[in-house]
Amino acid sequence: MKRYSGVLMPLSSLPSNYGIGTMGKCAYDFIDFLSAAGQKYWQLLPLGPTSYGDSPYASFSTYAGNPYYIDLDLLIKDKLLKKTDLEGIEWGGDPESVDYGAIYESRFKVLRLAYERGRKPFAEEFAAFRASKLWLENYALYMAVKARFGMVSWTEWPDEGIRLHRPDSVAQYRLTLSDEVEFYEFVQFLFFRQWEALRAYAHKKGIQFIGDIPIYVALDSADVWSEPHFFLLDENNVPTVVAGCPPDAFTEDGQLWGNPIYHWERMRNDGYGWWIRRVDGAGQLYDVIRIDHFRGFESYWAVPYGDETARNGQWMPGPGMSLVGVLSSWFRGLRFIAEDLGYMTDAVKNLVRDSGFPGMRVLQFAFDAHGDSDYLPHQCDYDSVCYIGTHDNDTIMGWLNTTGKEDKKFAKKYMHITEDEGWCWGLIRAGMSTGSQLFVIQMQDLLQLPGSCRMNTPGNPYGNWRWRMLPGSADKKLAKKLREYTETYRRLNDFEK
């Protein structure tokens, strides 16, 4: 049976000259690094445009690409920008951290210049792109109206007609804001043009992309605004319940995510067309799709809208195999990973098994000195994807500082951690040696970085999604070492053989 490995590296975390990772040289260089290291997969976080809080899991659209990732040097090459256009612009002063405020203030001004110069030279290609993306009209109009009303959530738009997506108001605003709508459409044209070129290069080098689909979409999104009937909203399009997680040993109030919840009955009656379109859109970006919070398909925690904590929620039945079966049969060329972490029940385990999707094993959850764990390396069977930690976990070095003394002693004994190899490479060795069909490493752990470099701390809304890798970190020496581990445990990319 084939075994592979890959690296979890957010696109935003790549080094570039413009404050955030882009689809330019830094991305191509990273693909070269993965290829040299014998890896098969590059796992990304969601690529959508981010809103308040900068989380890629709270996007303005489940289909659109983030304008921040458009590479400006490639736009110069395409004669859509000049080098002088970028002089004196502040992108952020720390090469190890994304300054989203600085980028927000500067990036759209530059992209406006590219739009003005490019809409005529690229008119034919742009027209073909617009015709191929059925979601684009609603997204671009949503963004244009949002800009008109000072970027507040659509639930606060002062015009009731457009807030409630009434056809006459939609037609009126589409006409009134036609130039602004076309600008947002052109920005997406630029994003997908660069992405398709990058993906083609990755495939040429034998690298495939794993991407996330968050189970829920943001309330402040074109998805909810344009198709409110597929969500549990009242007559004024205000949510009746929102998503979250119940209280547990770690969070006595639970987690209140605030996402609107799907009207599963209407989606089922529609043949799950909304989900088919969504996964089809993701398939145009990724080769493998990781479904975040997969357990929510079995049952989900619904919290009354307006509550300040998740305490008063209740479990409600999800669509189960009626949806999962549609997705797996409809998209036979796509592969899926079920993020089956969190509150697990026999019913959830049965759903993962019936889906045929590999579940996840996280080594940071494995080492309990006084108990057993399904996540211990010897428990990781082939139908799983093994991680040391995900974007929601600490780095290995940070994890060591928060792990109990006895658990750490057990982990050291179990994995035969030596001083020469160290904890990071010891855990990489343990993950590589599991029976899991795929092993994925966070880039921070390859670089042996401290906990200050973790990507996200769940429950903490501030300071997340900012870490960036310094230029030159993913070098030939690191690629060679990673390749040696990969080859030893028979995970070397077939493309390289």
Given the DSSP bridges, would you call strands 335-338 and 288-291 parallel, antiparallel or unpaired? parallel
Alpha-carbon span 260 to 219, nearest angstrom: 6
User: What distances in angstroms separate CA 1 from CA 34, 75, 335, 495, one per listed residue?
Assistant: 22, 43, 16, 16
Position of tokens 């547990």? 248
User: What distances in angstroms separate CA 100 from CA 55, 296, 343, 376, one per listed residue?
Assistant: 11, 31, 33, 38
Alpha-carbon span 391 to 455, nearest angstrom: 5
Given the DSSP bridges, would you call strands 288-291 and 255-260 parallel, antiparallel or unpaired? unpaired
- φ, ψ dihedrals at 30, nearest 5°: -70, -35
Instruction: Show which residues are catalytic.
Output: 292, 339, 392
Report whether 379 contacts 404 (CB < 8 A): no
Order of all β-strands in the sheet with 208-213: 335-338, 288-291, 208-213, 41-43, 4-8, 438-442, 384-387, 359-362
Q: What value, to the nearest 5°, has the Cα angle with vertex 361 and ends 321 and 333? A: 50
Which among 134, 120, 121 has a CA at the least distance from the CA of 188? 134
The secondary element (H helix, E strand) that includes residue 258 is: strand 255-260
Alpha-carbon span 212 to 206, nearest angstrom: 20
Torsion of CA 140, 146, 151, 155, to 10 degrees: -120
Report whether 355 contacts 331 (CB < 8 A): no
